[in-house]
Amino acid sequence: MSGRTFIHNPGPTNIPDRILRAMAQPAVDFATEEFGMLLDSSLRNLNHYMKNSGPLIGYTSTGHGAWEATVTNLFDVGESILLCDSGHFSHRWGEMCEAQGLEVHWFDTGLRHGVDPEALTEVLSTEAGRNIRGVLVAHTETSTGVTSDLRAIRKVLTDLDHSALLVVDSIASFGCTPLEVDELGVDACLAVSQKGLMMPVGLAFTGISDRAVEAAYANNRHRFYWDWRRRLEAEGYRMFCGTPPIHHVFGLAESLTMIKEEGGIDAVTDRHHRLAEAVRRAVSEWAAAGEVEFNAVNEKERSNSVTCVRLAEGHDSEKVIKVARERFNLTMGRGIGPLAGKAFRIGHLGDLNEPMILGALGAVEGSLRVCRVPIGQGGLQAATQYLADMER
Ligand SMILES: *Cc1c(COP(=O)(O)O)cnc(C)c1O
């Protein structure tokens, strides 16, 4: 097919040509001062954008690696954690914690809501709740399009004078939704290369607080590859526990340059909000016919990274996704778990701009019409109008 395929999965995301070109280089000697400086400055800049004053640990891995590294370093076998289960990804993280021998308290938010501060207060106030060492939460749960309010979660911990570490999977939200790691007292903030950072999969990170460093040093559990102590004490590229991911570092440096040129991370999250809002305006119009709706019930919890759209009984979301792919050159995320066949997910994170979003919305609207899903008129028009009205 001519033209570009529009990638609207909520990861991996578009890789800008600039980043691809920055990575298309011969291998270099990673022990040189030049590479060391590029690596150091890249990690420092990324940590700055995370708004974290503690250390940042990098890994050559997927997000699953960052999950495992974080849990292995912060908690010993048998310790209690509270896992905020808001959907597929957070649930999988909880399964990993169980496999790691932790005592997992499951806190189910339901598929259509984020963490409810009142319910969280109740759980953490019980005797078992008092013994919880860490609260683990996915900032944005990618399978449902729900973003939890981290400020409210921090407030619960503060009000209860609860000492649990606050551990946040910001894999889908980093660079898309504002996240003040220091200010919110986030003890560990997880991110990856292939979502907001616009890169190929292969790099993952945890920005950690001084409290998290202390917890890692106090934790005697056996570990080696993921050991933060080993990585914190290593110099430069040795932090990666093996050959450093040279080409990904080239890509990361370019990604951070692009973020800087756009005006910094706040400008990038503003753009994500704007484009996400355009998507929401369109979905709101489509929903007027009563056959499609937002999965996220609360407006405030609708994610800047991905919108999960549910179809009424009798419609097949797999068919909509197939039509979008085959006729409109657009890929989307499918419904996961209980939402399989019932929902599709429009990813709107990473390297995107206004015409790309309007093109994507036109393709989704067209696919819904091909599948004879009744939708309200004027979705694309509402999105266009919103973008036109924005003061910038
Ligand atoms: C994508 C994603 C993950 C998993 O990342 P991988 O790199 O695929 O391991 C974890 N959590 C969230 C919220 C995600 O969106």
Per residue of the chain (392 residues), give pLDDT as tens: 789 999 999 999 999 999 999 999 999 999 999 999 999 999 999 999 999 999 999 999 999 999 999 999 999 999 999 999 999 999 999 999 999 999 999 999 999 999 999 999 999 999 999 999 999 999 999 999 999 999 999 999 999 999 999 999 999 999 999 999 999 999 999 999 999 999 999 999 999 999 999 999 999 999 999 999 999 999 899 999 999 999 999 999 999 999 999 999 999 999 999 999 999 999 999 999 999 999 999 999 999 999 999 999 999 999 999 999 999 999 999 999 999 999 999 999 999 999 999 999 999 999 999 999 999 999 999 999 999 998 77
DSSP classification of residue 107: E
Strand partners, 165: 134
What are the CA-CA distances from residue 295 to residues 56, 168, 339 (Å)? 34, 22, 9
In angstroms, what CA-CA distances link 18 with 26, 30, 199, 349?
16, 22, 10, 17
Rounded to two decimals, what is the model's pTM? 0.98
Matching residue, tokens 């778990």 = 337
Work out which ligand 1 atom sits closest to the CA atom of 67: 10
For residue 283, report the distance from its CA to the centre of ligand 1, in Å.
25
- Cα–Cα distance, 93 to 90 (Å, whole number): 5
Q: How far is the CA of 373 from the centre of ligand 1 (A)?
A: 30
Bridge partners of 131, per DSSP, are none
Nearest CA to ligand 1 atom 2: 171
Contact 6, 360 (CB under 8 A): yes
Q: So what's the pLDDT on residue 166?
A: 98
Residue 1, pLDDT score: 73
Question: Are the beta carbons of 289 and 374 closer than 8 angstroms?
Answer: yes
Residue closest via CA to ligand 1's atom 6 equals 63
CA distance linking residue 287 with residue 227, whole number of Å: 49
pLDDT value of position 392: 73
CA-wise closest residue to 169 among 88, 244, 223, 233: 88
Nearest to 155 by CA among 138, 135, 175: 135
Q: How far is the CA of 172 from the centre of ligand 1 (A)?
A: 7
Task: Outline which parts of the chain fall under CATH 3.90.1150.10.
Answer: 6-12+265-389
CA of 199 to the centre of ligand 1 (A): 14
| Nearest protein CA to atom 5 of ligand 1, as residue | 63
Q: What is the pLDDT of residue 391?
A: 78
What residues are in contact with ligand 1 under a 6 Å CB criterion?
Answer: 11, 62-64, 89, 138, 142, 169, 171-172, 192, 201
The DSSP H or E segment spanning 40 is helix 33-50
| Closest listed residue to residue 165, CA positions, set 125, 123, 136 | 136
Distance 86 CA to ligand 1 centre (A): 14
Q: Whose CA is nearest to atom 3 of ligand 1?
A: 63
Residues of the chain with CATH 3.40.640.10: 17-261
**Topology classification of domain 6-12+265-389:** Aspartate Aminotransferase, domain 1 (3.90.1150)
Distance 389 CA to ligand 1 centre (A): 34
Q: Residue 206 forms beta bridges with which residues?
A: 57, 190
What spacing in Å lies between the alpha carbon of 191 and ligand 1's midpoint? 9
Q: What is the pLDDT of residue 209?
A: 98
Q: Give 89 Cα–ligand 1 centroid separation in angstroms.
A: 7
Instruction: Give, using CA atoms, the residue closest to atom 4 of ligand 1.
Output: 63
Mutate to test the pocket of ligand 1, among 192, 195, 304, 349 (most ligand atoms within 8 A of CB): 192
Residue found under tokens 């999977």: 169
Write down the CATH number for the domain with range 17-261: 3.40.640.10
How far is it, in rounded angstroms, from Cα 233 to Cα 20? Answer: 32
